[in-house]
Amino acid sequence: MLEIGLYEYLQGVTAVTNLVGTDVYFVRVPKGGSFPALVIHTIDSPPLAYTSDGTSNLEDRRIQIDCISSVDQLDARSIAKVVKAALLDYTGTLPDGTVVHCTEYNGSSDLPYELGAKSYAFGTMLDFSLVIDEATS
């Protein structure tokens, strides 16, 4: 599953774990979760691509990664910069066996800050397009 592969890949990037540790979540930060954190969302998962030879195994999946900090917006952007460096133009096999090529889709944008249970949370969103080989995921 692509999301598990991304999680495992990001956990293997020292620069990422130095900033967020193991706080990488899917869809939302759970109750009791801590910051800084990454939140991975699948934005779009269109049908498999068609070629003149029929259906291919390639799928263009859009993934959003929210980089969240409890410090300030600049800290959220610093986290986003490290995550972007780890993923932008990455081509290879994720730890779960998914073959992927990652490109930036819309760039990054700041998320509105939110009042959390204990303090404010600041975020920057990254939007990636990942071409994956469905035969391997």
CA 59 to chain centre: 17
User: Which domain range does residue 87 map to?
Assistant: 2-133
Residue among 136, 29, 16, 1 nearest 87 (CA): 16
Separation CA 126–CA 77 (nearest Å): 10
From first to last of its 137 residues, the chain has per-residue pLDDT tens of 788 899 999 999 999 999 999 999 988 888 888 889 999 998 877 666 666 666 667 778 899 999 999 888 899 999 999 999 999 999 999 999 989 999 988 877 888 766 555 567 889 999 999 888 766 65
Backbone angles phi, psi at 102, to 5 degrees: -115, 130
CATH assignment of the domain containing 38:
3.30.2000.30
Torsion, CA 79, CA 74, CA 112, CA 16, rounded to 10: 10
Q: How many domains does the chain contain in total?
A: 1
User: Which pLDDT value is given to residue 32?
Assistant: 80
